Amino acid sequence: MVVGDFPVEVDTLVVGAGPGGYVAAIRAAQMGQKVTIADKGDLGGVCLNVGCIPSKALISAAHRYENANHSDDMGITAENVSVDFSKVQKWKSGVVHKLTSGVEGLLKANKVDIVKGEVYFVDQNTAKIMDEKNSQTYKFNNCIIATGSRPIELKPFPYSDRVLDSTGALNLSEIPEKLVVIGGGYIGSELGTAYANFGTEVTVLEGTDDILGGFDKSMTSIVKRRLKKKGVNVITNAMAQGVEEKKDGVTVKYEVKGKEETVDADYVLVTVGRRPNTDELGLEQAGVELTDKGLIKIDKQCRTNVSNIYAIGDIVEGPPLAHKASYEGKIAAEAISGEASEIDYMGIPAVAFTDPELASVGYTEDAAKEDGYDVKVAKFPYAANGRALSLNDTDGFVQLVTRKEDGLVIGGQVAGANASDVIAEIGLAIEAGMTAEDISLTIHAHPTLGEMTMEASEVALGMPIHVPK
């Protein structure tokens, strides 16, 4: 006997349970909506399972190993420091499990119905959610699409046991002796640095003239100096041509200055960008418009051209950042509830967990000038900060970009230890419309890395205490 597929009716269907989707689902539920969230994969999406979280865990473990081997100038030496990489991977997986199980608990606590399966749109108010055995129709008043992205695969470098995407690189069972990284963006630079800290001989092939595009050269130059110290070979303007796989390794062919070169390694990691997951959802059935790049067009409330369907995260314009997706998820959920919320990307930070860390928020000096602002740039060095000295980590700076006419903070950059944390105050200053004087009048604890933001604000005001005027 065939049982009829009676539609399940919900206020809001959220498609995708990554950092955009699950946050959107929780916020929508908090605002009184009956919410169902669906994902064919694990809760937490790429970020929690195979991206942000496991990569930072691996980076942290690699730092511990490097510090154990290189702290002699502080009078600390260790002999025969070893890595049990299977234990590192087990610990990393434990971190991931704690967070993904936490997401499940939060969704349930907010009475969000969780469904595992693939979503395919039938029309602008209907979708089917399918697993290997069943198909269930859902009728929704509104929908938030948050399906994220996947790594771009290069034709000459098809993924295999030796040709890895970021997920493969995070799940290796061994520390490679040699690793080639194709692409010197933030993912390639982060994972390349992590394995270099574990002792791997790393070669980075970058097609442009610099790694970590999007960050000021004054910031990337510090990272490159550190990479050189670790023995990492960064080759810019290098075009990867192909790979020859062997039983126990690879030979990567690349071209630089018109000359073909090769480099041997145990593995090659390909990190040349990500592709939006919009191609297998049946979006054309719902009438949702896409750009030539497969991104979904949205307005300032994350609404698509179909009035009751919203899109957030990696599938819309902008950098593929987890915190951007979460932010947009809240905006979409609030817009569905009738709030006047709109997206404003001015305060969204970009962070690279390299060595040292890089972080930027708001305007850079060049971008501000391009938009017609008359700005002042004030910089304070880590080398003049007591906490940085006590950490034995003095490379870098904190920089504020302020409007000359009134000292309004419109941007900031941090290169150095814990830049990912230090940048938050500058983001808050931009969001709150604060001036350099507001920051300078805020008492910062001493000795901390955070007080460099105050010091930079005093440089902006022309009255620095701890650097010569």
CA pair distance 408, 457, nearest whole angstrom:
11
Catalytic residue chosen out of the listed positions 63, 70, 446, 466: 446
Strand, coil or helix: 18: coil
Give CA–CA dist 177/174, Å, rounded: 9
Helix (H) or strand (E) holding 240: strand 238-246
Q: Using an 8 Å Cβ cutoff, are 342 and 174 in contact?
A: no
Strand partners, 274: 151
Q: Treating both helix axes as pointing N-terminal to C-terminal, what angle do 419-432 and 451-460 enclose, rounded to 10 degrees?
A: 50
* Phi/psi of residue 176, nearest 5 degrees: -65, 145
Residue 53, CB-side half-sphere exposure with 13 Å CA sphere: 19
Residue 137's φ and ψ, nearest 5 degrees, are: -85, 140
Give Cβ neighbours of residue 74 (< 8 Å, ≥ 6 apart).
392
Report how far residue 187's alpha carbon sits from residue 209's, in angstroms, rounded to the nearest whole number.
17
> How far separated are the first and last CA of the chain, in Å rounded?
85
CA proximity to 3, closest of 163, 149, 132, 134: 134
How many angstroms separate the CA atoms of 467 and 381, rounded?
A: 9
d(CA 399, CA 361): 11
Q: Has 446 been annotated as catalytic? A: yes
**What does the angle CA 297 – CA 300 – CA 304 come to, to the nearest 5 degrees?**
35
Any idea how long the chain is?
A: 469
Q: Does residue 176 have a cis bond before it (omega within 30 degrees)?
A: no
Q: How far apart are CA 197 and CA 227, in angstroms?
A: 10
- The CA R_g of the chain, rounded to the nearest whole Å, is 24
Catalytic residues: 446
